[in-house]
Amino acid sequence: MLSRPFISAFNHVLDAESWAREALIPHAGKSARLSLPPFDIDIAVSQEGKIEASNGKPETSIRANPSSLFRTLNGELAEVEIQGDAEFAKTLSLLFRNLKWDFEADLGKFTGDILAHRMASGVHALFSWQKEAAWNLCRNLAEYWTEERPLLARKDDISRFVSDVDRLRDDLARLEKRIERLP
């Protein structure tokens, strides 16, 4: 179901990046299954360094946890399970990490460069605003739960508690030594 749109979009990005196609050419004829449950996409590498739909049993399997998608959106590396050809999987991983869609350039073909740049800037500002709003909400909730309605402990309170526990442990150890010395 998602194979055709994914393959078309990926090949569109590959068309703009010759280094990526050159990285795929040594793996021509190899196939892989990309799994992000509940979706599986079977791909194969063509002689031109592009990907196409694969119907056979894949030689390599790359499976990501659904939570990995959210981690990658946050700029973190996704945790994946790889089975099969590690070099092929490494090449695919390199492409997924480094290929970026230049939607401003594609949009500029239809609207002109100036309007495309302004629209892309607007989209970027919207996403920046959402990220900043989410961080502000998190900070406000943390402050509310530590100051107004103490559900979370403040950092200073935790440090003081740890220090008190350490002091109590040391006092107890000294008391045990004194008790041992009693006749």
Asked if 70 and 31 count as a contact pair (C-beta separation under 8 A), the reply is no
- pLDDT of 102 strictly over 90: no
d(CA 20, CA 77): 19
Q: Is the pLDDT of residue 1 over 60?
A: no
**The domain 3-98 belongs to what CATH superfamily?**
SCP2 sterol-binding domain (3.30.1050.10)
Q: Helices 113-143 and 103-111 sit at what angle, rounded to 10 degrees?
A: 140
pLDDT confidence tier of residue 71, bands split at 50, 70 and 90: low
Cβ atoms of 40 and 67 within 8 Å: the answer is no
**How high does pLDDT run on average in the chain?**
85
What's the whole-model pTM score?
Answer: 0.57
30, 56 contact by CB (below 8 A): no
Residues 31-67 have pLDDT tens digits of 998 888 778 889 899 999 898 988 888 888 888 877 7
Q: How confident is the model at residue 74 (pLDDT cuts 50, 70, 90)?
A: low
Which residue type occupies 1? M
Q: Please, which pLDDT band fits residue 174 given cuts at 50, 70 and 90?
A: very high
What's the pLDDT at 69?
A: 65
- Buried/exposed code over 14-37 (b: 16+ C-beta within 10 A; e: otherwise): beeeeebbebbeebeebbbbbbbe
How confident is the model at residue 169, as a pLDDT? 94
Segment 112-144, tens digit of pLDDT: 888 888 888 888 898 889 888 988 998 898 888
Q: What is d(CA 128, CA 134) in angstroms, rounded to the nearest whole number?
A: 10
